[in-house]
Structure 1
Amino acid sequence: MPDITFPKQVKIVEVGPRDGLQNEKKLINAKDKIALIEQLANAGVSYIESGSFVSPKWVPQMATSTEVFEKLNRLSNVTYAALTPNMQGFEAAMAANASEVAIFGAASESFSQKNINCSIDESLERFQPIMTVAKAANIKVRGYVSCVVGCPYEGDIAPDKVAIVAEKLFKMGCYEISLGDTIGVGTAASVEKMIHAVSQRIPLEKLAVHFHDTYGQALTNIYTALQSGIMVVDSAIAGLGGCPYAKGASGNVATEDVVYLLNGLGIETGINLEKLLSAGWFISDKLEKPPVSKVSNAYRAKK
């Protein structure tokens, strides 16, 4: 077998409290969200997407984000990030003392039109004021690109399209670009091609991957990304969040499963798996449903 080189260390970006919970129907109160975030931090997770400053009318689950950020007991070595879709959201995130913010663009024109009623370029232009103010305030901005291998409306997405959008976000000032397989259709081959195309325009160390597990390929795709030199992986505790574009499908890859994979490869994450599992069981009990994580269910069965 040929030698495969993996990174020695991988940063996990925990998106469960935001991206995960916002797709869960059962509303979780601020106290329980805070407890989840604090448990994740105590497990060694160094980056937690803790909320989103959007209209509660559109995303009711995120209505408590200000309270969550204001009442959190924070660890000094943990980044507590917020998604901010517009300037109003950015200002609210700053008022609540978010560590940094995230903005987003799509690699699919149809997805952009149907979701935010504007073109890809128009959507990115809307973020320019945020980038200007964030830079002046020395606030880091992370960029998301959705539909990086497939779109619910257009089907397959050309890798070059993804590379162009990612480069625009990078040139705007995003310090890291997270490449999101929004509907979870990626395969090892399509992911490898996509990462190769994007890495021609942006340094690999500035890229992250964000996989949904709709077709059960998320861990395989993460393995492929690691082989390609990616060192940052987004995931959600307990596999929180269904995929809104694929009925009945599981959503984000579970953090427990990702950490188990990385542990098996001898890749350092700084995360305590036992404490991580406890955090997953805590929020799953609050949601009154079992974790999507296979590792979590296997460990719980052993107890």
Structure 2
Amino acid sequence: MNPLGIHAGVWVGGWSPEETRLAVSRTAEAGYDLIELTATDPSGIDTKLVRDLLDEHGLTASASLGLTFDADVNNEDTAVVRRGRAKLGTALELVARIGSTHLVGALYSALGKYSAPATKKARANSVAAIRELAGQAADSGVTLGLEIVNRYESNLLNTTRQALEFLDEVDAPNVLIHLDTYHMNIEEGDFARPVREAADRLGYVHVGESHRGYPGSGTIDFATFFRALVDAGYEGPVTFESFSSAVVDPALSSTLAVWRDLWDDNEDLAHHAHRYITDGLHAARWR
């Protein structure tokens, strides 16, 4: 069975000790194996507390982030790229301190709408930064998952085919593809072909509905997606991601345009999603 995860944004909008305890304990109570932390600002995370709570509840963790335009490796400006590399390094340190093996997200780019296509120089800077990060991550046994996001959140990797070309340029075995059904619904033609194309280079999965609400209440063809994962022999994490203005992370909520309530009962949502994903993967295995 795939480890099932949940994004911490379902539970909390920050990382105070109280929020940290709530997020980890609720994740365990809902039956998940993994909690995904937001590493946008690691300075606010008590890594010792996180690690102690993970051990207490028998959980693992991953961390995700997207870069910002003032610290972006997908840029021609040397100073901006340098700040982006530093931000990636800080996130990698967080992952190591909490004992995680996965750093995922838009590691290659700012998370936001660019005003023009990526330039050849900016892309080369991104490739070089990810290659360097991969070398550092390998020393800690960490896998990097490059999340393919929609055109409004990056100008670099919007499809699986683009990501595969990027991975070929990086040429590091611990850099893999991170698929997200929310973004696939916008950019891909279907939910099976990208999984087949990624094949054994698929390393992390986000399950998110078309409107980021309850899975099964939007337009995502989850049955096809789950079948594709099973057929591909994917055994990595499958992490549920959902956002609502009922839980506000000031930075992340603004970046992802979380302007309205898609749910207000996060416990019901988390239990529903766990059951939905478990049943979907089970049905795909025994179809």
After TM superposition, is the score higher than 0.5? yes
1:258 maps to 2:239 = no
- Cα distance, 1:102 vs. partner? 0.2
1:13 maps to 2:37 = no
Partner of residue 35, structure 1: 22
Supply the RMSD in Å over aligned alpha carbons: 4.5
1:233 maps to 2:238 = yes
Q: 1:110 to 1:33 in 2, by over 3 A?
A: closer
Paired AA for residue 49 in structure 1: E
Equivalent pairs counted in the alignment come to 240
Q: TM-score, normalised by structure 1?
A: 0.58
Task: Give 2:62's match in structure 1, choosing from 78, 81, 85.
Answer: 81
Partner of residue 145, structure 1: 147
- Whether the aligned pair in 1 keeps the contact of 2:102 and 2:142 (CA below 8 Å) is yes
Residues 148-204 of structure 1 deviation map (CA, whole Å, 9 limit, x = unaligned): 5x53576x94542233235567x42336532135657448943334334333xx456
Q: 1:243 to 1:197 in 2, by over 3 A?
A: farther
Task: Give 2:259's match in structure 1, choosing from 248, 255, 261.
Answer: 248
Task: Give 1:131's match in structure 2, choosing from 125, 131, 134.
Answer: 134
1:72 maps to 2:87 = no
Partner of residue 208, structure 1: 205
Q: 1:11 to 1:265 in 2, by over 3 A?
A: same
Q: Percent identical across equivalent pairs?
A: 9
Partner of residue 78, structure 2: none
Cα distance in structure 1, aligned partners of 2:129 and 2:5? 25
- Cα distance, 1:72 vs. partner? 2.2
Q: 1:195 to 1:140 in 2, by over 3 A?
A: same
Cα distance in structure 1, aligned partners of 2:212 and 2:139? 42
Cα distance in structure 2, aligned partners of 1:184 and 1:246? 18
Q: TM-score, normalised by structure 2?
A: 0.60
- Cα distance, 1:37 vs. partner? 0.6
- Cα distance, 1:76 vs. partner? 8.0
Cα distance in structure 1, aligned partners of 2:243 and 2:106? 26
Paired AA for residue 233 in structure 1: V
Structure 1 segments unaligned to the other structure (5+ residues): 1-8, 57-62, 269-303
